[in-house]
Amino acid sequence: MQKVSVLLFLAWVCFLFYAGIALFTSGFLLTRLELTNYSSCHEPPGPGPLPWGYRGEPGACWMTSRFSRVVLVLIDALRFDFAQPQSSQMPGTPASLPFLGKLRSLNRILEIQPHHARLYRSQVDPPTTTMQRLKALTTGSLPTFIDAGSNFASHAIVEDNLIKQLISAGRRVVFMGDDTWKDLFPGAFSQAFFFPSFNVRDLHTVDNGILEHLYPTMDSGEWDVLIAHFLGVDHCGHKHGPHHPEMAKKLSQMDQVIQGLVERLENDTLLVVAGDHGMTMNGDHGGDSDLEVSAALFLYSSTALFPSVPPEEPEVVPQVSLVPTLALLLGLPIPFGNIGEVMTEVFSGGEDSQFHSSALAQASALHLNAQQVSRFLHTYSVATQDLQVKELQRLQSLFSKASADYQRLLQSPQRAEATLQAVIAELQQFLRGARAMCIESWARFSLVRMAGGATLLAAACFLCLLASQRATSPGFPFRSLFLIPVSWGLAGTIVYAGILATIGLKLDPIVLGAVAAMGSLLPCLWKAWASWGARRHLAALLPIPVPVLLLLLIRLAAFFSDSFVVAEARATPFLLGSLILLLLARLHWEGQLLPPKLLAVPRLGSSTPPGPPRHNGAQALGLGVGLLLCTRLAGLFHRCPEETPACRSSPWLSPLASMMGGRAKNLWYGACVGALVALLAFVRLWLRRYGNLKSPEPPVLFVRWGLPLMALATAAYWALASGADEAPPRLQALVAGASVMLPRAVAGLAASGLMLLLWRPVTVLVKAGVGAPRTRTILTPFSGAPTSQADLDYVVPQIYRHMQEVFQGRLARTKSQGPLTVAAYQLGSVYSAAMVTALTLLAFPLLLLHAERISLVFLLLFLQSFLLLHLLAAGIPITTPGPFIVPWQAVSAWALLATHNFYSTGHQPVFPAIHWHAAFVGFPEGHGSSTWLPALLVGANTFASHLLFAVGCPLLLLWPFLCESQRPRKRQQLPGSEAEARVRPEEEEEEAEEEPLMEMRLRDAPHHFSAALLQLGLKYLFVLGTQILACVLAASILRRHLMVWKVFAPKFIFEAMGFIVSSVGLLLGISLVMRVDGAVSSWFRQLVLAQQR
C-alpha cells in the first residue's frame, strides 16, 4: 500500500465524520428566522382607537412621549448583587467581599427619592455573551443558542431595533465605548467614540476613553440619546474575578460616573443604568447559571416617575422588557420583532396620579404592546412553521378577548377597578405566554437532519471498525473500498446538484456534503461487508478486548447523564487509572511482565530466538505507579463546573498577575520556569540517549540552540506579564513592546523549527571511514543501483547492519582494505526522534497561550505520555516482517489521556470556561477586524491536549521498536547464510553483540508499515468517533431535557470541535512519519548509489 493511499483513505474517513457532524448540527442548533419588517408611526400595530391619554402632540407615535432624552449607561457584566445595598445582602454572605456596597449613589437615590428611581433584577436570556445581549437590548427578541458562536464576529442587525427607530424619528444618537456596536449598527450614530473591546486584560482603556468624552458631550446638548458602554467591570471579572480588590475600584469608579450623570440630568431626561449580563464566581459568562443571568437595571428621573415607594425585594423583569418600555416612553414605535412586556409601573403617571388613571395608562401601554406582539406572531407564523399551532391559536383567542375587554373599557373609562385589573392581567398573560411559546418553539429541531447526521456518524464508525480489521491483511482492497465509492459519491453529488438546479431549489452545502458522504459510504460498506464481514462471526467484528470494551461503553454511557457529563473531569482519571491497572494485571496474568516474544524472521528464511526482556516486573510496576501518580498530580489543576457549587477550583489556574503577594508570586514564577527547563532538559536527554542529538542536520542544531531560545523568551514573557502593572512608567512602553514581540518570536521559532524538520527530517550523524570492499559489504540479488522499491526494501536492512558494524570499528579488523564506507549514529530511532521534536516545538507556543502555572501540567503531560508508551510497549508483541498491530487498549488509553489533560489544563466543555485571554497573547491591542486569528488562538488554547496527543499518536506504533534497544542481543548464526558468514570473521561471530534494529524493522516490510499506520489511524478515529456519536445520540434523545442547552449541547459542540482538531492532528502526525520514511528511503538510495560507484 502506497503512503499517499493511507493519507487519502484516512482523509476520506475524516470527511465522512465531518459531514455527519455538520448535518446533525444543522438540525440540532437551529437559528430562527429574522424578519426584516419594521414598525412605523404611520401604521399602528392593530385596529382600534388611539391609546387612552393620547393628545396628538407633534412627534408623538402610538403613545405620547414621556421623555425627550435618554442616557443609557451600559456597565458590562454588572451583576445584580453588585448594585444591591450592603445591608440587603443575603444572610451568610461575608460583608468583606470587595464588590459589596460600592454603588452607593444608587442606594442613596433610592432612599432619598423613592418615587424617582427603581432598581430591578434583570433576568437575562442565555447565552450570556455580550453581542447576543446587545441584540436583545435593542430588538427585544431572543437570539438562539448557536448565535453564541457569533460573539467573535458581530454582524449588522437586520431586524427592527431601537437604534433604527430613533434614527427614523430624527433623533441624534451619540455612542461611546465598546466597538461591538460599530459592527451591529454601522453608520447609525450621529457621533461615536469606539474603543477596542476584546482585550480582557485591559481594564481602563475603554472606560477612560468614555470618561474623556462623556461629560463634555452631555453638557453640549447636541444629543437626544446618549449611550455609554463601559467594559472595565467585565474585564476585571475575566482577569481577576469578582472577589479581587480591583473589582471594588472599578465599581467605585462606576459609582462616581453615575453620581456625575445624576447631577447633570435635566427634567426631560431618563437615566438607565443596566448590566447586559452577570458573571460567575470566576468572573466568566456565557452560560445560564443564576449569577450569569442576573443583571442590575436602574431607572432614574429628575421628576417623579413611580406612584409608590420601591418594594423591599426588587422586582424581577425580563431583560427584553426594557425595549418596549423605552420605545413608548420616547414616543417611538415598538420594534417589530419585540416579544418583551412593558414595565407597567413607569406608565403610572408619577407620585400624585390617581389609581384609576394610572391603571388605565398601564392598560393602554400593555394593549399597544400586545397588539405589536400579536402582529409579529401572525407575520412570523405565515413566514415559517416554527411556532406551535395549537398554542398560537390559544394565545390569539386570549388576545382577542383581552382586546375586546379593553375596547369596552375605553368606552366607559369609569368602570369598576376590578374590570380594569382583569384586562391588565389578561394582557400580561398573553404577553408572557407569547414569550414562553417563542422560547420553546425556537428550540425546535429538524429530526430528519439529526437522524441523518447520527446515521452517517454511526456508519463511519462501523467503517473504521471493519477497515481496521482488514487493513493489515495482505490484500487490502484499497481500490474497491476507496476509489470506486468515492467515484459513486461524486457522481451522486453532481446528480443531486443538477436536480436542484433544474427545479430551482436553493443548494444547501451541508446537505450536498452529506449526500456526497453517504453516496461514497454505502458502496464501501456494502463491499466491505460482502467481501469480509459476512464471512466472520459477530465476535470477530468486535475485536476490542472485553475489559477495554466495557470501559469504553461505561465512558460512552456516561454521556447520557447530565450529572456524569458535569463530573467527567473526575470520572476520566478514574477510567484511565482503571485501564492502567488493567494493563498491569494483563501483563502479570499473561506472563508479559517479562516481555513478549520477539519473532524476527530474516529474509533468508530462518528464525531468531526471542530477545531478552525489555522490562522486568519491577520496572513495569514502577511505570504503572508513576503514571498513576502523574495522573493524580495533573488532576490537582482542575476547574469546577458551575453546577457543583461545593467544589473549589484550583487557584493555580489563574495567571500570576492576579496574585497579590510578591514573595508567593516569585516562588511560583520560579516553579514555572523550573518546569520549563525540566521539560526542555527531558527532551534533550531523551534525544541524546538515542543518539539523535549528535547530528549536524539543521533540525538538530535548532533543538540545541532554538529550543533554549524559545524557553528563554517564554520565561521572559511570563515575567513581563506577571509584573506589567508594577513596571515603572518610563518602562511601560518597553514592557508593552516586549509583550508583543516575545510571544510572536516563540511562535516564529516554532514554525521555523517545524519547517526545518520537514525539510531535513533524518536526524542521524553520518561518518565516512575506510571499510571493507563493497563486494564484501552488501549482498544483493541484482547488479548496479536498485531499480525498484522491492530491491531497495531488500537491501536497506543489510545497509543498516553494515553501518552499525562500521560504527563499532569491526570491519577495520578485516585484512583487505576497501573504499570509504558510511556509519550512522542510531538510525533506529529516526522516526521517534522526529515525532518528539515536532511535539516539543508544538508544545511551546501552546504553553504560551495558557496561564504560567499550566507549565507544570505540560511537564506532567510529557511524563504521562512517556510512561504510558513504555508501559504499553511492554505488552505489544513485535513480529518481523509483520504485521505490526497496535492493540485497542493502547489506543483507548491514549485517547483517555488526551481527555484527562483537557481538564487538567483548566478547561471545561462549557462556554464560560473558555480562556478568552489566549486571543491577546502577542496581540494585546486586539486584532482589528480580523476574527479568524483570535478564534485560532482561543481554539489552540482550548484543544491543545487534543492536538498534541493526535499528532503523537504514531508513537504508539513506533515505541515498542524503540524499546528494543534497552538490552542488546547476541548475534546468531543463521543456517543457510554462508555468504553472510564469509563477510564476518569467525572471532567476531563469537564475541560481537548485534545492535538491535529498532525502528528499522519497520522498513523490512514497507507494506506492513503503511498498513499499521492506516490501522492505527482508523482505530483512533473509531474511539473518537464513538465519543461524538454518543454525544449526538444523547443530545437527540434528551433534546427536551431541562439541561440540554446547559450541558448536552455544549458537550456536543466541544466534542465535535475536539474531533476535528484531533483528526487534523492525526493526519499531520502520520504525514510526518511518512515524510521521515520518504527521507530515509532517499538517504538509503543515495547511499547505495555511492556504494556502487
Report whether pLDDT(268) > 80. Answer: yes
Burial class (CB in 10 A: 0-12, 13-18, 19+), 659: middle
Q: Which amino acid type is present at position 9?
A: F
pLDDT value, residue 427: 93
Inter-CA distances, 459 with 73, 421, 1022, Å: 54, 60, 11
Ranking 115-124, 129-138, 598-607, 1010-1019 by mean pLDDT, the lowest is 598-607
Band of residue 97 on the pLDDT scale cut at 50, 70, 90: confident
Distances in whole angstroms, Cα of residue 794 to Cα of each of 788, 791, 879, 1004 = 10, 5, 17, 7
Whether the per-residue pLDDT at 174 is higher than 80: the answer is: yes
Percent of the chain exceeding pLDDT 70 equals 80
Asked if residue 780 lies in contact with residue 791, where contact means CB atoms within 8 angstroms, the answer is: yes
Q: Which long-range contacts (CB under 8 A, 24 or more apart) does 662-666 make?
A: 665/722, 665/723
968-975 average pLDDT score: 40
Q: Report d(CA 570, CA 201) in Å as an integer.
A: 31
Better-predicted residue by pLDDT, 518 or 895: 895
pLDDT digits (tens, 9 = 90+) for 587-607: 777 665 544 443 333 333 333
What is the distance between the alpha carbons of residues 651 and 666, in angstroms, rounded to a whole number?
Answer: 16
Q: Convert the pLDDT of each residue in 786-819 to its tens digit.
A: 555 555 555 566 666 666 565 555 444 444 444 4
**Rounded-to-integer distance, Cα 377 and Cα 385, Å:** 11
Q: What is the pTM of this model?
A: 0.77
Residue 696 has pLDDT above 70, yes or no: yes
d(CA 1016, CA 887): 9
Tell me how far apart the alpha carbons of residues 104 and 386 are, in angstroms, rounded to a whole number: 46
Lowest mean pLDDT, pick from 94-103, 527-536, 770-779 = 770-779
* Alpha helix ranges (H) inside 905-954: 932-942, 944-951
| pLDDT computed for residue 541 by the predictor | 60
pLDDT at 801: 62
pLDDT exceeds cutoff 70 at 1033: yes
The per-residue pLDDT for 150 is 42
pLDDT band, residue 42 (cuts 50/70/90)? confident
Look over the chain and give the mean of its residue pLDDT values, rounded to a whole number: 81
Condensed to tens digits (0 to 9), the pLDDT of residues 1075-1085 reads 998 888 887 77
Give 996's Cβ-side CA count (13 Å radius): 24
pLDDT digits (tens, 9 = 90+) for 195-252: 887 777 788 889 999 999 999 999 998 999 999 999 999 989 888 888 888 899 999 9
At 781, phi and psi to the nearest 5? -85, 10
Q: Are 965 and 828 in contact (CB under 8 A)?
A: yes
991-1000 burial, b at 16+ Cβ within 10 Å, e below that, comes to ebeebbbbbb
* Nearest to 400, CA basis, from 388, 390, 392: 392
- What's residue 608's pLDDT? 37
Helix (H) or strand (E) holding 120: strand 117-123
pLDDT tens for each residue of 714-768: 999 998 888 766 777 777 788 888 889 999 999 999 999 999 999 988 876 665 5
The residue with cell 489563574 is 654
Average pLDDT over residues 1028-1047: 86
Q: Give CA–CA dist 875/402, Å, rounded.
A: 77
pLDDT tens readout for residues 977-991 = 333 433 344 444 443
**Cβ-based neighbours of 282, under 8 Å, separated by 6 or more:** 241, 639, 649, 912
Least confident of 13-17, 421-425, 523-527, 944-948: 523-527
CA distance 520 to 529: 15
Using the CB atoms, write b or e for 455-492: b if 16+ within 10 Å: bbbbbbbbbbbbbbbbbbeeebbbeebbeebbebbeeb
Q: SS3 for 69?
A: strand
Give backbone dihedrals phi and psi of 464, rounded to 5 degrees, phi first: -60, -40
Q: For residues 576 and 588, what is the distance between their CA atoms, to the nearest angstrom?
A: 19
φ/ψ (deg, to 5) at 184: -75, -35
Find all residues with CB under 8 Å of 18, minimum gap 6, and list them. 513, 1060
Q: Is the pLDDT of residue 318 over 80?
A: yes
Tell the burial category of 618 from Cβ atoms under 10 Å away from its Cβ (0-12, 13-18, 19+). exposed
Half-sphere exposure of residue 67: CA atoms within 13 angstroms, side-chain side: 28
Q: What is the pLDDT of residues 7-27, one digit of tens each?
A: 999 999 999 999 999 999 988
How far apart CA 839 and CA 837 sit, in angstroms, is 5
The Cα 207–Cα 979 span in angstroms is 85
Cell numbers found for residue 827 = 538510525
pLDDT of 153 over the 90 cut: no
pLDDT tens per residue across span 469-482: 877 776 666 666 66
**Mean pLDDT within 1018-1027:** 96
Residues in the chain, overall count: 1093
pLDDT in the model for residue 228: 96
